[in-house]
Structures are given as structure tokens and as C-alpha cells.
Amino acid sequence: MLEKAMRKPFHLFTCHRRDEDDFTVIAHRGASAYYPENTFPSFEGAIAMGADMVELDVQLTSDAEVVVFHDENLSRCTNGRGRITDYTLMALKKLDAGGWFGRKFKNVKIPTLDEVLDICKNRIAVNVEIKTASVSRIISGGIEEKCLKIVERCRMKEHVVFSSFDPCALLHLKRLDKTAPVAVLYKKKIYGSKRLPDMMDALDAVAFNCSKSELNNEWMALAQSCGIPINVYTVNDIRSMRKLINMGVSGIFTNKPDVLKKVSAEIRKLKSEDKQL
């Protein structure tokens, strides 16, 4: 059991400095409050704002290429129609994935996972969320194996953690590579009333990700006693940021990494001043 093992927090960063309290600023789909989500401008923006990690979503094209895109349907974030799985990579690259957000982002393209990892390498860590629509019973040749190979090829293995609402994706990753770091992405209808340590043990997970509304005092107490990092999504208001940081969460997913970084620094400064009194 984790209570006895005292699982140590998982640290992704060897290429840049961590905050003293190891709090992680996670840019949700990049700096998506300011740039079109899951695009190069959004990830570059997050890096410029000093985020510790970017979160992105991956799924497969009709020709089995791994692209970075959130929705199953193209209409919200591109000028295309239909499902992303009905398009080849070449066809997707012809779409405008930025104009919906603002004129200056017109003709921004849907990136592949390779392309995003290339710009993140030696600059920032990455949370790769595997979308449930792309998860199948196939292990060999499935999206999980493709992602692992891409991460290895990009030499980002030490700086990538995988998550998915579908626990099968995490089990597949572990079958393929038992050292692959995975995070539980909590959904009550899947995990039910399972205890936090049991969920972590079942998937050999390194972190637990949940929504702000799902986080409770019992989970926080267990997490702190067992050394389980809890990351909360998606938080964009300052009041909630302050509350969660003071509760002791390990990280927060936000569309506004600049705001969260400032709030985190202010709280760390106050704590430091209190210790000196």
C-alpha cells in the first residue's frame, strides 16, 4: 500500500529550476487564454511566460499519425468540418486552426506531436493527454505505442508524463514500457468510490489529476501522507488559485500560466516572510 511505501513525488525537471516548494504551473493546451489552443503560438507563449509544463491532447488521423488537437470534431477550432479521424495528416495541415481565435492567428496549423516536442525539448516539460476516442484494444501499433516512440525519438522521455480519462490507455503504456510515467486523470463514473492510493497503485501512477470540484479534504490528507502529487484542472481565477496552493496541491492546470506563476510567487514570498518572523 502507498501509506507504507510513502511514494515520493515525481519530478520531471532536470533541465531547468523548480520552485522551492515544487509547485508546478501547467499551461492547459498551452497559454490558451491568449493564443489558439494546442498550437505552436500557445506553447511558445507558455514557455515565454515561464510555465513549468504544457498540457496537450493527442489523437490519431485516418492515416494513423499522432496530432495535437482536443476535440473529436474539427468545427470549433478550425475551418474544417467532420471528425479528425476522417482526415489524413496532409488534409489536416491544409486547415486553418488559428483564425477562429483571432485574425493574427489565421492559417496557424494543427501540429503533430513530434513537432510540439521538438519546440519543447530542453525548454519545458509536457503532459500528453491521450484522448479516449483514439484508445482501442490494440496495444501493438496503437496510439500509446506511437506516442512512446515519438517521445523516445525526440529524446523527451525524462520530461513527459502521460494521462488519459481512459485507464486502458495507461495500462497499455505500462504494458509497453513499465517505466513510462502515467498520471490518473480522474473521472468518477470510471473509478467510482475507489480510494486514492488504490487508484494510484492499480495504474502504477506518479500523479493524480482531478477537477477543482472533485478535490476534497480526504484526498488532500491522503495525498500529503503518501507523497502523492495532486494536480487540479482547469483554474483561471486568482481566488481559486490561492486557495488550492494554500491547500497544498502540487500543481494547477490553467489557461493563464502568467497569472498562476505570479500568484504562486506571491504566496511563496509570504511564506518565506512568515518563516523569518
DSSP letter, residue 7: P
This prediction has a pTM of 0.92
How confident is the model over 150-166, as a mean pLDDT? 97
Report the amino acid identity of residue 99: G
pLDDT at position 3 is: 35
pLDDT at position 21 is: 58
> What is the number of other CB atoms lying within 10 angstroms of the CB of residue 126?
24
- pLDDT single digits (tens) 196-249: 999 999 999 999 999 999 998 989 999 999 999 999 999 999 999 999 999 999
Q: At what angle do helices 143-153 and 167-176 cross, to 10 degrees?
A: 50
CA nearest neighbour of 36 among 79, 81, 65, 86: 79
| Pairing status of strand 24-28 against strand 53-60 | parallel
Cβ atoms 122, 90 nearer than 8 A: no
- pLDDT single digits (tens) 80-116: 999 999 999 999 999 999 999 999 999 999 999 999 9
pLDDT at position 13 is: 38
pLDDT at position 22 is: 82
- Report how far residue 165's alpha carbon sits from residue 188's, in angstroms, rounded to the nearest whole number: 10
Task: Indicate if the pLDDT at residue 134 is higher than 50.
Answer: yes
Task: Indicate if the pLDDT at residue 183 is higher than 90.
Answer: yes
Residue 260, exposed/middle/buried by CB under 10 A (0-12, 13-18, 19+)? buried
The residues carrying an active-site annotation are 28, 70
- pLDDT single digits (tens) 30-55: 999 999 999 999 999 999 999 999 99
Collapsed DSSP state (helix, strand, coil) of residue 50: coil
**pLDDT class for 15, splitting at 50, 70, 90?**
very low
The grid coordinates listed for 94 are 491544409
Task: Indicate if the pLDDT at residue 58 is higher than 50.
Answer: yes
Task: Indicate if the pLDDT at residue 11 is higher than 50.
Answer: no
Q: What is the pLDDT of the chain when averaged over all its residues?
A: 92
pLDDT at position 277 is: 62
Give me the percent of the chain exceeding a pLDDT of 70: 92
Residue 141, exposed/middle/buried by CB under 10 A (0-12, 13-18, 19+)? exposed
